[in-house]
Each structure stands twice: as structure tokens, then as C-alpha cells.
Amino acid sequence: MLTGKTALVTGGSRGIGRAICLELAKQGANIAFVYAGNEDKANETSALLLQMGVNVKAYRCDVSDFSATEELVQAVNADFGSIDLLINNAGATRDKLIMRMSESDFDDIIAVDLKGAFNLIRHTSAGFLRKRSGRIVNITSDAGLMGNPGQANYAAAKAGLVGLTKTVAKELGGRGITCNAVAPGFIRTDMTAVLNEQILQNAEQMIPLKRIGEPDDIAGVVAFLCGEGAKYITGQVIQVDGGLRM
């Protein structure tokens, strides 16, 4: 159980992020979640979490902004007293073949998906080090492990998260802080909703478990990594993809 812990979850207003917030709250954690701009979705998530009897607050922030994320962490510490769990889930896509990808297409995705995680780790690490405890979970992707046509920017960012995860695990492990990554495969979210049904059906046939994953499938693994049972696990990348990339 995570009763009394405070979790900071980026990209927490919908999809996988919302599922993570709900699962951590189910286990008793108070939730500070970050959203980029969809206030309606943020309000929906807050309402769901408040029904679970935990403390909740939503924060609007551009995670790619170093100064803004520093202010965010300061605000969460002031509102909740401390941060115990950091889930770097915020992400974006801008898919194009590399011959058609603009500089901004590449830079903007790296800024959100990779630099955003660095920013949050950078600003929360001092608090973790003082307490000699903390759990960091970065949401990467199968694309970061295998590559994916049309996703040079996204795959590069998610691959970068793997290197960031392992480095942070080595740097902070001596103070009892763990850092792991979760790599989802095909999951039913807004990102996969744009794919036509034939693509999803073809994907199902390639997946040994013969189904597209649900956000809850990711949330359960994240919650495990935040719990007592994972205290001796760090620097790992756990693929949650139904066996697609085994």
C-alpha cells in the first residue's frame, strides 16, 4: 500500500496517465498530476480521484520548460509536504517519415518526451536524496527499444529515456532511490485511437496474448514498481506489450 505517499504524475489527465493516477490512489497515495492544456479532462480526473478519498491537485505545466517544472515541484512540495513517487508519463507524437520530418517536429517531441523527464527528475532528486528514499518510473515505449518507421523523433526520445533511467538508477541508488522504466506496446489511448481498425486487428494477430492492451495494464506495473515489493528493482525496463517484442 502507498498510504500517505504523494505521487507526482505528468500527463495525468487522461489515458495511461489517468489510469496510473487512479491505481496509485486506490493504493492510498495522494495525487499531484500535471496536464498540458485540456482542462476538461483534468477536471474529470480530479473528480474521479476525489471520490477515492485522497488528496488531489491538478497543475498545468509545460514539462519541457526547465524553469516552469522547477516552480511546479516547489508548488507540489508546498501543497503536499513532499514528493515520494515521480511518474514521468507526459508524452506527445508527431509522426512523419524522416525525409519529411522538420526540425521542429524532431525538437518538440524530444523536448516533451525526453527533456521533460529530465526536468522533473532534476528538480525532485534533491528531495529524494534528503529523505534517502524515492521511486521514479519513466514511461518509455516499445518504439524506443525497436524503432518504428515514421517515428524517428518519438523512438529517439523513448530510447533516450532508457539511457536516462539506467543512469539515474546508478547515480541515486546509493541513497535508496529506485528508477525504472515501463515500455508499453499497443495500448488503447488517444494515440492509438487515430489508427484504423484494420491496423489494430493486424496488431492483435501479432501479439501473443491476442489483444490490444488497456491503460490499466500499464498502471498495475507502475504501481508495483512504486510499492514495497519492488524495493530491490532498479534500472530495469519492463515491457508491457502482450509479448509483442519478446
Which residues are designated catalytic?
A: 154
In whole angstroms, what is the distance from residue 108 CA to residue 143 CA?
17
Name the DSSP class of 213.
B
Grouping H, G, I as helix, E, B as strand and the rest as coil, residue 95 is coil
Please name the helix (run of DSSP H) or strand (run of DSSP E) that holds residue 240, with its range, or none: strand 237-240
Q: Taking Cα atoms as reference points, which of 178, 194, 163, 169 lies closest to residue 227?
A: 178
How far apart are the C-alpha atoms of 11 and 17, rounded to whole Å? Answer: 5
Q: Who contacts 135 (Cβ-Cβ below 8 Å, separation ≥6)?
A: 84, 85, 86, 177, 178, 225, 226, 230
Cα-trace Rg, the chain: 17
| Separation CA 190–CA 178 (nearest Å) | 30
